[in-house]
């Protein structure tokens, strides 16, 4: 159904259009163009890490990271169930087993104590997310736990580029991090993703995995020389037009984040007086980029009732996320049966409201007005 107010919109300007058109107009280098290397250079600098590698999408980036980390059959990776399904699926792609741990109730990210309980001799890595663009409050504890147990800490930072904890960027707390530039992310090129890491060895493995295991000494599409294939790889490459758009978006990321935070602050001022609404965590050491603006209601009935009311008023809203371990595939096909009480209780109460960088005050006030009307029984 068409909505008066959508859940998200792409923030764009003439620089974005010109970046893509310039690639098209030159009539060459639509693959492996210079925009890709420049995106990687600027993304590495932005994240504070020495290496970044662009991928066709965030899921491919996660898949490649699992493989580059040596994860495979017989291994276990601890992940949240309160996440987009790609977090867990990326582990399955390698033949390894995702092990679900519960979340903490503040930033809705992995609970370090529950993670500790689930470590076995098969555990190879811990993979937290930073939910909705808010840094995981226990990420330092998870990093310490990974070091203590000699495990990899691989951050699924798909939702959180630009978010910080104590001034440190998400994606930079562990051995590597993954960002996504999918349609509803803070900056977007429609699809696209990247891995950032401080490890040169991992970076080189990722380069082979991204492009058919080919040892490239120069640009494959511009060279007449034979290049050997030294490993099993995939076609996970980002096209030049996508890289040009992602680069243009990255160059205004601080502006976009500032605008999103202003929208979130206006939401907070209007919704704070409502006793039945819990607002997203932010402030102090937490610096959220509000990839989503997710509120929590008192119970499932209140959440579902508000969702129906907002949709009836032409306002799009969505549940992010239903637990992965309760999906048909994981529950009925893979036979997962564990209970994750905080995850399940949280998922029954969350509702993501519309948020985008150029959201007008009148739109925010319309959304909040309808929420107040719902609580007033109107």
Q: What is the pLDDT along the chain (378 residues), one digit of tens a residue?
A: 689 999 999 999 999 999 999 999 999 999 999 999 999 999 999 999 999 999 999 999 999 999 999 999 999 999 999 999 999 999 999 999 999 999 999 999 999 999 999 999 999 999 999 999 999 999 999 999 999 999 999 999 999 999 999 999 999 999 999 999 999 999 999 999 999 999 999 999 999 999 999 998 888 888 888 989 999 999 999 999 999 999 999 999 999 999 999 999 999 999 999 999 999 999 999 999 999 999 999 999 999 999 999 999 999 999 999 999 999 999 999 999 999 999 999 999 999 999 999 999 999 999 999 999 999 985
User: What CATH code would you report for 14-250?
Assistant: 3.40.640.10
Q: Is residue 33 a contact partner of residue 221, using CB atoms and an 8 Å limit? A: no
**253-375 has which fold?**
3.90.1150
Domain range annotation of the chain: 14-250, 253-375
**Any idea which residue has 């999906």 for tokens?**
327
Q: Is residue 355 a contact partner of residue 263, using CB atoms and an 8 Å limit? A: yes
Coil, helix or strand at residue 278: strand
| Distance between CA atoms of residues 313 and 307, nearest Å | 10
Angle 195-170-188 (CA atoms, 0-180°, nearest 5)?
60
Could you count the other beta carbons within 10 Å of the beta carbon of residue 230? 10
Could you count the other beta carbons within 10 Å of the beta carbon of residue 221? 11
DSSP state of 329: I
Global pTM? 0.96
Q: How far is CA 239 from CA 43, 63, 224, in A?
A: 16, 18, 21
């Amino acid at each position: 159904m068409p909505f008066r107010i959508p859940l998200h919109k792409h923030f764009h300007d003439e620089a974005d259009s010109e970046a893509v058109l310039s690639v098209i107009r030159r009539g060459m280098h639509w693959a492996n163009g210079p925009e890709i290397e420049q995106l990687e250079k600027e993304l590495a600098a932005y994240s504070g890490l020495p290496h970044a590698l662009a991928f066709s999408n965030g899921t491919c980036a996660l898949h490649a990271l699992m493989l580059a980390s040596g994860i495979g059959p017989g291994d276990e990776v601890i992940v949240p169930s309160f996440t987009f399904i790609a977090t867990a699926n990326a582990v399955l792609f390698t033949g390894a087993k995702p092990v679900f741990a519960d979340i903490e109730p503040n930033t809705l990210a992995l609970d370090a104590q529950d993670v500790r309980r689930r470590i076995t001799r098969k555990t190879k890595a811990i993979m937290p997310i930073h939910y909705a663009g808010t840094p995981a409050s226990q990420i330092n504890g998870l990093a310490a736990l990974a070091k203590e147990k000699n495990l990899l800490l691989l951050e699924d930072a798909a939702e959180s580029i630009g978010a910080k904890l104590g001034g440190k960027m998400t994606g930079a707390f562990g051995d590597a991090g993954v960002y996504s530039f999918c349609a509803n992310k803070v900056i977007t090129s429609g699809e696209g993703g990247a891995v950032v890491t401080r490890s040169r060895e991992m970076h080189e493995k990722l380069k082979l995995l991204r492009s058919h295991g080919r040892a490239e000494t120069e640009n494959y599409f511009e060279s007449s020389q034979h290049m050997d294939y030294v490993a099993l790889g995939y076609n996970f490459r980002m096209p030049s037009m996508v890289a040009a758009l992602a680069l243009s978006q990255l160059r205004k990321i601080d502006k976009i984040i500032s605008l999103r935070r202003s929208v979130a602050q206006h939401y907070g001022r209007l919704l704070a007086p409502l006793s039945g609404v819990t607002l997203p965590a932010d402030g102090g050491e937490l610096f959220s980029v509000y990839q989503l603006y997710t509120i929590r209601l008192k119970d499932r009935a209140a959440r579902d009732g508000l969702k129906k009311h907002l949709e009836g008023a032409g306002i799009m809203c969505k549940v992010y996320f239903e637990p992965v371990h309760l999906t048909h595939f994981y529950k009925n096909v893979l036979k997962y049966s564990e209970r994750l009480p905080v995850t399940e209780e949280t998922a029954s109460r969350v509702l993501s409201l519309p948020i985008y960088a150029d959201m007008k005050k009148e739109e925010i006030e319309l959304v909040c007005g309808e929420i107040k009307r719902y609580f007033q029984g109107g």
